[in-house]
């Protein structure tokens, strides 16, 4: 590998991190008082996860966390974003905490700090306690979970518990990770847990996730010291029209409303946009939004996390699309994650190289989003809280794992971050997804996003070429102007 002499320098206090999620790495699903989450139930339901894989063992981080932190330190990471398993610390989703669960996260944070690694805690990364999904507080025959308002209040209680346990150690907190996936993949298309397929329930879930964010952020404010910083990690879509036509522009508007503004409207501006309400009026009347809710959702943010993988390309609906797969990058389902939009919009695969997820590689989408949210939320610092790619990584004859495609991917996206900073975006850190190969949700163990290769049979960890490359970039605080991979 060789690089040019021109180098792109990042701010001296820029955080170089990696990210993980509890259900994807921890395992130990029945230890120390933990009870099932919706992902335990979903993954054990035949046909829901490729190969019948589950997160029962995952990559055994619950027992190997000291070695994993040492690995982070060896790679020179200055930050680590991880999620807390709600059902590990509050098994029923309500009531007192299990101290053994909290002790695991206390010890993890202490170890991170001892190695000079700054922790960022994510309170919710999709693993709702199953008892809350089974609870029907309003007597709904359809089920509980995020379509039920009570779940937002249970989340606030849980947020206060975790803040009380870790608040003296952790300064950076995110309430939710990618609530779009929780609402629209979990309750709309059904490709994520809990696997329900009700478009009205998906929109109710979206609102109650917004409410949970606001209530949870307030619970954190009440429990944490003043130095704490509270944000949320969204996965906004860089939505692009296929052509400049008015019809394709309107398709872009519809998907922007459902992919982005359904969350940024309430969180950043305290309102749902009129066009979103009009587009979905045949699905729901939005009567679940109560007086005062939007004041709660509009809780001041100390930072905004942006997760990005690839852009979306849309056009006005094509007459012959019936029965064709929907290339929106969100899994195959006969049910849509786009309530009120399917009859109006068609998706198209963006041009260019594809990752193993069949996601197009396009760093310009990340730059565009960083500049867009700089404009939407002036004065709010940004972090790239997830960015990465899956490739078909395999050890070579010497046991090493060479992944030049991922190096090219990371270089391109970090260069896009640098361009955004030069254009005025206040981006303060980058968290590579993911630290480790792991359980990739409905894809099971078939997709490898990690900078560190995991042999699932032995749980051996082998840093890939990209991990060593990223370590050098982090140590220097600068990116080669170009990268050529031999």
Catalytic residue numbers, as ranges? 178, 386
Give me 437's structure tokens: 């190969």
What is the rounded distance in angstroms from the CA atom of residue 286 to the CA atom of residue 237? 23
In whole angstroms, give the CA distance from residue 34 to residue 91.
6
- Could you tell me which of 212, 92, 228, 94 has the C-alpha nearest to residue 164? 228
- Give the tokens for residue 129: 């306690």
Q: Write down the number of H helices and E strands in the chain.
A: 16, 17
**C-alpha angle with apex 187: 152 to 336, nearest 5 degrees?**
145
Give CA separation, 330 vs 113, 188, 191, 359, in Å: 36, 11, 8, 10
Q: Where are the alpha helices (DSSP H) in 116-261?
A: 130-134, 150-166, 179-180, 199-223, 246-256
Distances (CA, A) of 19 to 14, 105, 108, 177, 413: 16, 15, 14, 11, 16
- Integer Cα distance of 79 and 15 in angstroms: 6
- Give the three-class secondary structure for 69: helix
* The residue to which tokens 């609102």 are assigned: 207
75/288 Cα distance (integer angstroms):
47
Q: Six-digit token pair at 210?
A: 């917004």
**Ramachandran quadrant class, 26 (left: phi over 0; alpha: psi -120 to 50; beta: rest):** alpha
As given in the structure block, the two tokens for residue 212 are 């949970």
């Amino acid at each position: 590998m060789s690089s040019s002499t021109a180098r792109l320098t990042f701010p001296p206090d820029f955080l170089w991190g990696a990210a993980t999620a509890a259900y994807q790495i921890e395992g130990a699903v029945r230890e120390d008082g933990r009870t099932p989450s919706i992902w335990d139930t979903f993954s054990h339901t035949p046909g829901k996860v490729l190969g019948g894989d589950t997160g029962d063992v995952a990559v055994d981080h619950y027992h190997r966390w000291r070695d994993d932190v040492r690995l982070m330190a060896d790679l020179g990471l200055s930050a680590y974003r991880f999620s807390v398993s709600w059902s590990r610390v509050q098994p029923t989703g309500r009531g007192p905490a299990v101290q053994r669960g909290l002790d695991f996260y206390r010890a993890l944070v202490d170890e991170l700090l001892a190695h000079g690694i700054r922790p960022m805690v994510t309170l919710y990364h999709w693993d709702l306690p199953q008892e809350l999904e089974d609870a029907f507080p309003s007597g709904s025959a359809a089920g509980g979970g995020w379509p039920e308002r009570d779940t937002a209040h249970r989340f606030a209680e849980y947020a206060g518990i975790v803040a009380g346990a870790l608040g003296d150690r952790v300064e950076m907190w995110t309430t939710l990770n990618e609530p779009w996936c929780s609402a629209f993949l979990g309750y709309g298309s059904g490709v994520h847990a809990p696997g329900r397929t009700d478009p009205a329930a998906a929109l109710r879930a979206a609102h109650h996730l917004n409410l949970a964010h606001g209530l949870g952020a307030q619970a954190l404010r009440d429990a944490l010291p003043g130095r704490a910083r509270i944000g949320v990690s969204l996965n906004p879509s860089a939505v692009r029209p296929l052509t400049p036509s008015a019809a394709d522009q309107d398709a872009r508007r519809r998907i922007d409303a459902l992919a982005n503004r359904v969350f940024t409207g309430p969180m950043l501006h305290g309102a749902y946009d009129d066009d979103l309400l009009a587009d979905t009026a045949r699905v729901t009347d939005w009567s679940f939004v109560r007086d005062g809710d939007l004041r709660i959702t509009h809780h001041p943010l100390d930072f905004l996390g942006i997760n990005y993988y690839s852009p979306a390309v849309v056009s006005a609906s094509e007459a012959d699309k019936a029965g064709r797969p929907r290339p929106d990058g969100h899994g195959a389902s006969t049910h849509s994650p786009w309530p009120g939009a399917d009859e109006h919009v068609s998706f198209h695969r963006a041009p260019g190289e594809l990752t193993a997820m069949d996601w197009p590689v396009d760093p310009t989408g990340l730059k565009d989003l960083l500049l867009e949210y700089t404009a939407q939320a002036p004065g709010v610092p940004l972090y790239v809280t997830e960015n990465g790619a899956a490739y078909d990584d395999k050890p070579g004859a010497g046991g090493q794992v060479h992944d030049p495609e991922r190096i090219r991917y990371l270089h391109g996206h970090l260069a896009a971050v640098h361009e955004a900073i030069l254009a005025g975006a206040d981006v303060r850190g980058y968290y590579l997804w993911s630290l480790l190969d792991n359980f990739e949700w409905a894809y099971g163990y078939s997709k490898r996003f990690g900078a560190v290769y995991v042999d699932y049979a032995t749980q051996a960890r082998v840093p890939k070429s990209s991990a060593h490359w990223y370590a050098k970039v982090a140590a220097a605080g600068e990116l080669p102007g170009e990268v050529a991979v031999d």
